[in-house]
Structure 1
Amino acid sequence: MADILILTTGGTIDKVYFDALSEFQVGDTMVTRLMEIGLVKHDVRVQEICRKDSLELDDNDRAALRHAIESAPESRIVITHGTDTMTDTAAVLKDIPGKTVCMLGALSPARFAESDATFNLGMAFGVVQSAAPGIWIAMNGTVFDASKVRKDRSIGAFVSI
C-alpha cells in the first residue's frame, strides 16, 4: 500500500495546446513530473480515473471516482480535478468515512512556467497528512472545507461561503 493515492481526472492542470488557434485539450497527467520537481519522497500510487475538462465530467465519472476512493487501501487521497465543477464532485464524495481527501486543480496548465499547479499539489500533500478525515480543497494558498467553498470566476479564485 502506498502512503498516498493520487487520483487524476484531467482539468486545466493537465491541459496542453492542441492547435494553432491556442485551443486546449487535456493531455497526460503532469502529477508525476510535478512530484519529481518537488522532490517528493513519499510512496505514491497514481491512478487515472478519466482525462476530461471538469465541465465534461458526468455522474458515471463521479461514481468511478467515489468507487476508487472507497475501495482504495490508502486513507490519504489527493485528487486532481478541473476547477469549474470541483465542488460538485466534492458533494458526491462528502460522506465517505475514514478517508482524508484533498482536491486540487490549477487556474493555468501545469506545463506553463507561471502555473499554480505545483503549489496547489504541495498544499494537497500537506492536507492529507495533517487534516482530519473529510473532503478538502487546496487552492489559492488556502485549504477549504469542500462543503463551504465556491469558485468566484470574477476574481479567479476560490472563496469561503
Structure 2
Amino acid sequence: MSAPSLHLIATGGTFDKTYDPIAGQLGFARSHLHEIVERCRINGAVSIDALPLMDSLDMQDADRQRVLASVQTTAATRIVIIHGTDTMPETARVLGPALKGSGKTVVITGAMVPYSIRGSDALFNLGFAAAVATTAAPGVYVAMNAQVFGWETVRKNRSAGRFEG
C-alpha cells in the first residue's frame, strides 16, 4: 500500500472545539477532520490520525512527543497538524530539530474561531496549510491566515491576535 499524499493529525485546539449549549462552553466531542476532508474534496489519498483532543494550553511535553511520534511513524511525507494556536510555536520547536533531514514537510495550523461556529477561519487555514504542505520544501512550518512561518522564528502576538516571524 502506498503512502497517502497528505496526512492530517488532529490534536484539538480551538479548530476542533464545539459549543455545548447545556454547559454553555466550548469543549471537545470528536475531530471534525473527516467531515472537513469530505466537504473540501481534497484530491489524493488522505489519512487522518486523531490524537487526544485538547486545548493547547493544556499540552505537555508528553503530548508533543505523541505528535512527534505520529509524524515519525506515518509513511506520508506531507503532513498537516491541527493544533491550538496558543502553543503552536512550542510544538514547532520540538518538531523542527527532531525532523531535520527526515524529508518530511510538516505544517502546523489551527483556527481562532472553531470550525463548528459560523465565520470560522478553520476551513481556510486547513486548505492553506494543505497547499503549503504539498508544495513547500521539507521542514516544519506554521501556516495561519495566509502566512507561513519557519519553526525557528514563529511567535503568536497575543495582543494583535496574529502570528509573526
Q: Matched residues in 1 for 2:92 and 2:52: separation?
A: 16
How many angstroms does 1:21 deviate by? 5.5
AA aligned to 2:129 is A
Q: Does 2:94 match 1:89?
A: no
**TM-score, normalization by structure 2:** 0.92
Query: Residue 85 of structure 1 aligns to a residue in which SS?
Result: helix
Which one of 52, 68, 82 corresponds to residue 50 of structure 1? 52
Instruction: After TM superposition, give the deviation of residue 146 of structure 1 in Å.
Output: 2.2
Deviation at 1:22, TM superposition (A): 3.0
Distance in 2 (CA, whole Å) between partners of 1:57 and 1:22 is 23
**How far did 1:16 drift?**
0.9
Q: Which runs of 5+ in 1 are unaligned?
A: none
Match of 2:158 among 128, 153, 161: 153
CA apart distance, 1:19: 4.2
Describe how 1:1-161 pairs up with structure 2 within 5 A. 1-20=3-22, 22-95=24-97, 96=99, 97-160=102-165
Note the alpha carbon deviations across 1:43-89, whole angstroms, 9 max, x for none: 10000122100011111111111111112111111100000001101
RMSD between aligned residues? 1.3
TM-score normalised according to structure 1 size: 0.94
Query: Could you tell me how far apart the structure 1 residues matched to 2:29 and 2:150 are?
Result: 29
| Identical aligned residues as a percent | 38
| 1:151 counterpart letter in structure 2 | K
